[in-house]
Structure 1
Amino acid sequence: MTAQDYDNQLLESVSVRRRRLRDALLFGAQRQRRSLDERVGKVFAGVVIAAVVCAGCVGWSFVSHRVIGKSPYGASVTAPSGQSSSTTPSPSATSSR
């Protein structure tokens, strides 16, 4: 065992001991309950992040639909002025080639 390995082992054990003391001070006898609470918090944070991403996608779709005025799926969309526009080319435009 080299001196560096011993130093790393010592630093790791000191770190573990400090973490255990901190947890004992903060959570007392309910240290085991803390891990469940952390998992619930992480799941809740994941759900919140997913909801924000979904809302961002819906918002981007809405804004791009309003700005461009056309549907990305090729369906007709009613323009704000009341006129209908189509995103698919007409058969006469494709047959002129």
Structure 2
Amino acid sequence: MVREYDTQLIESVAVRRARMRELLLWGGQRRVRATGDGLRWMRIGLVLAAVACAACVGWSFLQNVIADQQRARNPAPVQQTGTR
């Protein structure tokens, strides 16, 4: 019985917080606009953008390291200019 009351209390607090958040963001139009889905998709988009940025930086770093290793193995020949 106590666990059911705790679960019910937790759920009612979550609903109240969601309603307060929507009231704060939308005012009297909170029933027309729901923010839960929009905020969720925005968070997902930010995470995906961060992962894409990290992948680009990692790929650039990897290419730079490989190019440095290739230059160290095969140094460019030194060209001599005309004689004096």
Which TM-score bucket, shorter chain as reference?
A: 0.5 to 0.7
User: Aligned partner of 1:32: which letter?
Assistant: R
Q: Which residue of 1 aligns with 2:13?
A: 14
The residue correspondences of 1:1-97 to structure 2 (distance < 5 A) are 2-28=1-27, 29=29, 32=33, 34-35=35-36, 37-38=38-39, 39=41, 41-42=42-43, 44-69=45-70, 79-82=74-77
User: Aligned partner of 1:25: which letter?
Assistant: L
User: Aligned partner of 1:19: which letter?
Assistant: A
Distance 1:10 1:52 in 2: 41
State the Cα distance separating 1:20 from its structure 2 match.
0.9
Percent identical among aligned pairs is 23
More strand by share: 1
Change (3 A) 1:17 1:32: same
Q: Deviations over 1:7-30 (max 9, x none)?
A: 221232123123212321222215
Distance 1:18 1:43 in 2: 21
Distance 2:68 2:49 in 1: 28
Q: Unaligned stretches of 5+ in structure 1?
A: 71-77, 84-97
**Over the residues paired in the alignment, what is the CA RMSD in angstroms?**
3.1
Aligned positions, number:
74
Distance 1:4 1:19 in 2: 23
Change (3 A) 1:44 1:33: same
Q: Unaligned stretches of 5+ in structure 2?
A: 79-84
Give me the TM-score of the superposition, normalised by structure 2.
0.56
Distance 1:61 1:6 in 2: 56
User: Aligned partner of 1:51: which letter?
Assistant: A
